[in-house]
Amino acid sequence: MKLAIAAILISYAAAFAPTPKVASKSSLMESPYENELGVIAPTGFFDPLGLSNDIDEETFAQYRTAELKHGRVAQLAVIGYVVQEIYRFPFDIAPGVPCSSIPNGVAAINAIPALGWAQIFFLIGAVDYYGFLGNFDAGKPDLDVEELEKRQLSELQHGRLAMLAVLELLRHDSQNLVQPGFDGLDNLITGLPFLYN
């Protein structure tokens, strides 16, 4: 019995004994891009899959441009998702199919006719291919370096937030499509009921 008690006490003491620190290697510490714009506290340089390891600066710039483009698209998607709750365009998306007859959100996927999808597809393709809505010289404010960097960081953060927001809107709407009224709410925007009057 005394031997068992001594073994338990020794094991408790060993559990709280200091251990030597071993330097661990992670994708968060190895990246040469940890000082780039967009690295913010508390996460620091967030690349858990190691996509930035062993790439050159040109590839990183392409990744950053893609992140910026996806963020802008997500911001437009969130605005579009919310606006369709209270406003409909007064034209036909296809001959004989007015925009007002298309349901909101995920339910619209099956309701939009093929000609409507073709319009959407070719418009997005033209914008992406020809660079519409891209880098314009007109309208750019003349900013000092610090203010420009601050605004670029804000745009990255807003895009990241919008990407999460559009995923949550799609998740919520998909769940509501499968199980209507699962949350007990009739509308997507519950905090502003005057919008639906």
CA separation for the pair 111, 135 (Å, rounded): 35
pLDDT 10s digits, 12-58? 655 555 555 444 444 445 567 777 888 887 777 887 788 888 888 89
pLDDT 10s digits, 177-189? 788 777 777 777 7
193 forms bridges with which residues in the sheet? none
Is the whole model's pTM more than 0.85, yes or no?
no
Contact (Cβ atoms closer than 8 angstroms) between residue 102 and residue 112: yes
Q: What share of the chain is helix, strand, coil (3-state, %, to 5)?
A: 55, 5, 40
Tokens of 177: 């499509």
In 88-179, beta strands by DSSP E: 92-94, 97-98
